Amino acid sequence: MAEKTDSRDMVIIHSVFRRELRLAPDMVRAVPDGDTTRSGVVSEHLTDLLDLLHHHHEGEDQLLWPKLRERAAEFTDLFDSMDADHGSIGSSIDAVQSALRDWAGTADRAHGDRLAEALDALLPPLVDHLDREEERILPLVDQLLTPEEWGELGARGFGLLPPQKAMIVLGQMAEDTPEEWGELGARGFGLLPPQKAYTTIGAPAYLDYVGTVRR
């Protein structure tokens, strides 16, 4: 029997975006006015997170939507809607990045407020998009893509990360990964299953990192 595609690994990376972007506005607001050491820590964390989100959507644009459009033309309206989401979310990411550049080197309170507001504005449409992707798109992925095709998406994402950053992302994924998903195959990430990789490789680095970032 042919191996079936299991797209639940997408839910894991989505959980990272939901959790970290919910925490982000309060993290920015908590930085004391003028504390550039702390704003540097938070801004690096947010820059990495936004880059991860950008590459995640870019990977879908290149490797996911063309295959689904070819194999499920009856869902064209759905795919068009998801494409449009990527455009509008991309504009929101640009707004966050602009505010982040203004704030990172100064920790100016007014710039921080603008950044926090931009993060607040990004979260609801992103969460709506992720929810609909899990509800409507992932069942199609499981039906229409091979495990090898699906694995290309995760492998691409991790291939763009330096090793140290990859360990942090593994920790972020493992933080909310149910134990029963710990045996998800390497096809989803191009790596060890997330729980095992986090436990054996990334745990010490991630615990130090998250302790510093969430202080």
How confident is the model at residue 175, as a pLDDT? 86
Radius of gyration of the chain (CA): 18
Q: How confident is the prediction along the chain (215 residues), in pLDDT tens digits per residue?
A: 568 899 988 999 999 999 999 999 999 999 999 999 999 999 999 999 999 999 999 999 999 999 999 999 999 999 999 999 999 999 999 999 999 999 999 999 999 999 999 999 999 999 999 999 999 999 999 999 999 999 999 889 888 888 888 889 888 888 877 665 555 543 445 555 555 666 666 678 888 999 999 98
CB neighbourhood size of 36 (10 A): 16
How confident is the model at residue 186, as a pLDDT? 39
Instruction: Compute the distance between CA of residue 141 and CA of residue 18 in angstroms, rounded to an integer.
Output: 21
- Give the largest Cα separation in the chain, rounded: 61
